[in-house]
Structure formats: C-alpha cells, structure tokens
Amino acid sequence: MAGVGAESIVHGVVAAIVVGLLLRLRRGDPPGLRLGFLLAGAIVPLLSAPIFHWLAPGRLDPAFRDGPALFSASHFTILAPAGVPLLPVSLALLAFAGTLLFLRDLIPFLWDASKGRAHVQSVADAGAITGAVQRAAAGLGMVPPRISLQSSEHPVLLCRGLLRLRIVASTAILDALTPDELEAAVAHEVAHAAHRDPLLGWGLMLVRGLAFFNPAVQLLARAAVHETEHRADRAAAGVLGDVAPLVSSLHKMLAAERGGRPARLTHFAHRRALAERCRALQTAADATTTAGPWHLMATVAGLIALLYLVVV
Amino acid sequence: MRRPFLQIVAVLLGAAAALRAGDALPGILTGVPRGVVVCTALSEATALTGLRLQLPPALSVYQPIFRGIRATRAPQAALAVTMHDPTGNTLAVFRSAFSSIDRRLFQPLFPFHEIAIQVAGRPAMLRASNQPGGPAVQDLEWIANGTRTVLRFDGPTLELLRIADQMARLEP
C-alpha cells in the first residue's frame, strides 16, 4: 500500500510537470480544454499507480527497474547524505506537503458549504438579479437556475448546488455593483451553472481527498478550479460581448474583499487569483492553432505510457 | 492540427529524457551504475546472485572499501568485492557464472602482457594492463566449475598468485 502511495506521488509529480509544460506552451487554448488537461493530470496519477500494481506486478521486478524503466525511485535508496535516507524522507515530506495543501482547502470548502446551506433563503423578488440571470441563461442556452438572496452586508454572488443549481446573491451586491457589472457578474455565475462547476468542484475535492498525500494532485486540482473561473469568465464575456463590465466587477469584488480585513494567506491567494483573472480577460487569446479533444486524448495516452515506465 | 501534436510529443519525449537523466543521477553521484546493487556484506551479494565466494585467510588483512561489495542480478548475475590492504594495495575479486563478467562491475583493460599459468592446478591467464589515469594492474582469471573468477590487483605479482592459489583451493 505504501508502495502504491509512493508511486502515486512520483506519478503525480511527472504528470504535473508534463501538464504544466503543455499548458505553458499552449496558453491560447480554450479554458475548457486547459481544464481537461489539468483534470487528466490530476486523475491519471491517482489511478495509474494502483492499476499498474494490479495489472502489471512485473514492473516492480528489479529486472524491469534496471531495464526498461525510465525512472526508478529505488535507485535513490543509495543516497543518504549525512546518514539521512534521501528517498523515504523526500517522499514523507512530499506526503506532508500534500496533506497540508489538502487541509488548507478542505477546511474553508466545508466551512463555506455549511455556511451557505444555513443562511440561504429563497426569495421570489430578487429584482435586478432575476432579469440578469434570465438574460445570461438565454445567452448560454440553458434553463435559468433558481436564485437565492441573502441579506448580508458583504457582497456575495456565487453558484451553488450539485444537481439543483442556484445563484446565491447577497443584498450588498446590488449596492456594490452597477447594473452592467451586476449583469456581467451574474453571467459569470450562470456560466458556472451551465458547466455544472459546483459538481465538478465536489468531484475535484473527492479526487483530492483520495490523493490527500499527493502534492502534485492537490496543485493540479487547485489549478483546475482556477481554470473553471477562466472558463466562466470567457463564457460570460461571450454572452455580454464585452469584458469591461466583468473586469470592473472583479475589481470591485477585490476591493470589497480587501475592505479592512486582516491579510490572511487564503485572502492573498484569492486576491492573486482574481487579479490573474482580470489580466486573462484583458489579454486577447492569440492561438493560431488550437488544440482539441484529440490532443487531450493523445496526451493522456502518452502520459499513461510514460508513467508505466516510472516505478518506485 | 500538427503543431499541438508536435508540442505534445516534444514534451513527452523531453519528460522521458529528463526522467532517464534523473534516474542516472544516483549512479553519477555515487559511481554505482544503474542495475548494480551495493551490498552491505558478502553474504548479501552471494544470496542475490546465487554465486559462491569464500575469501581465504590470506585476505583477512584486506578490508572492503565503502560501497565495495556490489552485485548484478540475474540474468547477468555477477559480484565484485573491492578491498584495500593496510599498505594501500587494492584487490578486486570478480565472479560470474557467464563467459564474461558484467561490464558494470568489471571494466576489461587492454593488456600489454599476457601469460598462461596454473592456479591450484587449473589453467589461468595472467594479464598486465595500464589503467587509464591509474597504476598498472594485473588481472588473473580462471574458470572452475563453470564459474569465472578474476582478481585485479595493483600490488606485487607474488601476493596475487598466493591469494589466487588460496582462493582456488577453497573451491570444490
């Protein structure tokens, strides 16, 4: 079992490097496809190690490690600087880092989910938001999701629900944003609903829970969540035909989040992600050759072949 | 269509090359080639290879050097023990059940002198060679019961012959 876990960590690192390099090379690809690459990078190493151990136990043979294998972590057992065995210590540190990354996001995720369930109150007269949701849903070709309005002094606008999706907004958001900005922000959340991103978020948290010890899977899953934001931004910009109100609403949300609260690490990361989204929206995609699903499938196949030759 | 495919292939091939280079890193840092197992005791090496090796009393003053006991697994099972005596002479014992000893353990040298001799009544070859950048060494090689043994020594020839004779006599 420990061997499978260790191999999963090594596979995760390899997958993260491959996917990271490809995404750097293919910056102009659509967010949906980039999300596919990130999901592949997170899920393949989670499955590859146990499946290879089960289907191909011969990979653990010394003859395979010293022969066809591209990389065998067991070769590092010989390295013990100052008497410290490098391999087990490195793997333990990576597992510790993975667990910290998982807990760092799990706790706010569960807190957020429980808080949202407790305070949501459905209202029939959500005013300007209802109209914005209906227009965005029409633009995205979907049935408008339900709307829930919270009375809160903090501006909140998000998409919730696994199967029955709804847009949750706070009364403060109506005061914080201009009608154009509200339209854009709502279109963004409706785009999340159109892609069923809350369900994807839970799925990603499940993947992260299964690979809680794997830092690469944690980082790829986090990057996938960010990519869903980019995808929703692009979809919203497509519906509106303009990115300016969306960027403006993001800036306002950013400023509202800053409003006198202590600068915690999670807030810093969140602010950085928002700033990155504004930058991405303002930078026009200039891909001359866009990758497609076939390229994603080729990458997954190549990654599986590569990971087959990586053993612990 | 082609460019993304080329990029994917390039990244995967680059990752494969980087993994292979990374795998070679411990070997480069420690001088132990890939596939060679460093053993903590001679018994571990003999158990790993299935080869018998008994060191004679003449070698009691010799101490294995750090990472000096090495072996390669089947199908090219072989073992090597590198030792120093108190005067600084280096003796390496190589053993294999094959016609040649795995190159990862034993680097053949081009001999400048070669002579057929007998070791404990068995035919043997004594070769003298220059090591690149090192002292001249003598290789004494014989086969007994289908097992090839080579002693590589940088000390006096008489000492080598004495050790070889004792070793050969220990073999059944």
ipTM of the complex in this document: 0.81
- A124 falls in which pLDDT band (50, 70, 90)? very low
- A258 falls in which pLDDT band (50, 70, 90)? low
Are B19 and B75 in the same domain? no
For residue A117, is pLDDT > 70?
Answer: no
Q: What is the mean pLDDT of residues A105-115?
A: 77
Summarize pLDDT for B117-152 with one digit per residue, the tens.
Answer: 999 888 999 999 998 887 889 999 999 888 899 999
Closest CA to A74 of A83, A64, B42: A64
Contact B11 A289 (CB under 8 A): no
Nearest to B12 among A18, A69, A76 (CB): A18
Closest chain A residue to B74, measured at CA? A63
Residue type, A251: H
Distance, CA of A217 to CA of A259 (rounded, Å): 33
Positions of E strands within chain A: 71-72, 146-150, 157-160, 166-170, 310-311
Distance, CA of B54 to CA of B95 (rounded, Å): 11
Are B46 and B106 in the same domain? yes
Are B25 and B93 in the same domain? no
Contacts of B15 in chain A (CB under 8 A): 14, 17-18, 21, 306
Q: Indicate which of A64, A70, A311 best probes the interface with B, i.e. most B CBs within 10 Å of its own CB.
A: A70
| Residue A270: predicted pLDDT | 66
| CATH number (domain holding residue B150) | 3.40.1000
Residue B112 domain boundaries: 36-170
**Which region among A170-179, B20-29, B39-48 has the lowest average model confidence (pLDDT)?**
A170-179
Q: Indicate which of A10, A22, A24, A71 best probes the interface with B, i.e. most B CBs within 10 Å of its own CB.
A: A71
Are B87 and B105 in the same domain? yes
Burial A206-243 (b: 16+ CB within 10 A, else e): ebbeebbbbbbbbbbbbbbbbbbbbbbbbbbbebbeeb
Q: What is the mean pLDDT of residues A159-175?
A: 85
For residue B58, is pLDDT > 80?
Answer: no
Contacts of A289 in chain B (CB under 8 A): 1-4
Across chain B, mean pLDDT equals: 89
Are B99 and B142 in the same domain? yes
For residue A125, is pLDDT > 60?
Answer: no
| Residue A287: predicted pLDDT | 53
Are B99 and B69 in the same domain? yes
**Backbone φ, ψ for residue B66 (5° rounding):** -60, 130
| Smallest Cα distance from B29 to chain A, Å | 8
- B8 falls in which pLDDT band (50, 70, 90)? very high
| Residue A102: predicted pLDDT | 93
Residue A293 domain boundaries: 2-311
Tokens describing residue B122: 């068995």
Contact A67 B35 (CB under 8 A): yes
Nearest to B8 among A71, A298, A309 (CB): A298
**What percent of chain A is predicted at pLDDT more than 70?**
88
Closest chain B residue to A296, measured at CA? B8
Q: Is B87 exposed, middle or buried (0-12, 13-18, 19+ CB in 10 A)?
A: exposed
Task: Please name every residue paired with B64 in a beta bridge, in sequence order, or none if there are none.
Answer: B83
Nearest to A295 among B8, B16, B18 (CB): B8
| Residue B135: predicted pLDDT | 81
Contacts of A290 in chain B (CB under 8 A): 4
Contact B73 A21 (CB under 8 A): no
- A121 falls in which pLDDT band (50, 70, 90)? low
User: How many CB atoms are located within 10 Å of the residue B14 CB?
Assistant: 13
Size of interface A-B (CB pairs under 8 A): 76
Summarize pLDDT for A216-233 with one digit per residue, the tens.
Answer: 999 999 999 989 998 998
The HSE-up count of residue B118 (CA atoms within 13 Å, CB side) is 3
Task: Find the chain B residues whose C-beta atoms sit closer than 8 A to any C-beta of A.
Answer: 1-5, 7-9, 11-12, 14-16, 18-20, 22-23, 25-27, 29-30, 32, 34-35, 37-38, 67, 73-75
Are B40 and B111 in the same domain? yes
Closest CA to B135 of B94, B93, B90, B103: B90
| Residue B74: predicted pLDDT | 79
Contact B20 A71 (CB under 8 A): yes
- B80 falls in which pLDDT band (50, 70, 90)? very high
Distance, CA of A187 to CA of A237 (rounded, Å): 8
Summarize pLDDT for A3-24 with one digit per residue, the tens.
Answer: 888 999 999 999 999 999 999 8
Distance, CA of B53 to CA of B94 (rounded, Å): 10
Distance, CA of A127 to CA of A173 (rounded, Å): 12
Closest CA to A59 of A45, A78, A74, A47: A74
Q: What is the mean pLDDT of residues A281-300?
A: 74
Contact A215, A94 (CB under 8 A): yes
**What percent of chain B is predicted at pLDDT more than 90?**
44
Are B15 and B44 in the same domain? no
Distance, CA of A258 to CA of A83 (rounded, Å): 48
Contacts of A69 in chain B (CB under 8 A): 23
- A269 falls in which pLDDT band (50, 70, 90)? low
| Residue A263: predicted pLDDT | 44
Contact A302 B8 (CB under 8 A): yes
| Residue A302: predicted pLDDT | 95
Q: How many domains does chain A have?
A: 1
Across chain A, mean pLDDT equals: 84
Q: What angle do CA B68, B72, B77 make, to 5 degrees?
A: 125
| Residue B33: predicted pLDDT | 85
Contact A95, A213 (CB under 8 A): yes
Are B131 and B72 in the same domain? yes
Task: Please name every residue paired with B72 in a beta bridge, in sequence order, or none if there are none.
Answer: B36, B78
Q: How many domains does chain B have?
A: 2
Residue with the two structure tokens 């795995």: B102
Close Cβ partners of A284 (under 8 Å, ≥ 6 residues apart): none
Q: What is the mean pLDDT of residues A209-221?
A: 92
Distance, CA of A193 to CA of A104 (rounded, Å): 25
Are B160 and B109 in the same domain? yes
Closest CA to A186 of A227, A130, A231: A130
| Smallest Cα distance from A202 to chain B, Å | 29
| Residue A79: predicted pLDDT | 85
Local structure of residue B54 (DSSP, 8 states) = -
Nearest to B19 among A62, A70, A289 (CB): A70
Contacts of A26 in chain B (CB under 8 A): 4, 7
Contact A290 B19 (CB under 8 A): no
Contacts of B20 in chain A (CB under 8 A): 70-71
| Smallest Cα distance from B34 to chain A, Å | 6
Are B89 and B111 in the same domain? yes
Nearest to B4 among A72, A289, A306 (CB): A289
| Residue A206: predicted pLDDT | 92
- A262 falls in which pLDDT band (50, 70, 90)? very low
Which is higher by pLDDT, A288 or B39?
B39
Contact A302 B23 (CB under 8 A): no
Nearest to A22 among B8, B18, B22 (CB): B8
Which is higher by pLDDT, A300 or A80?
A300
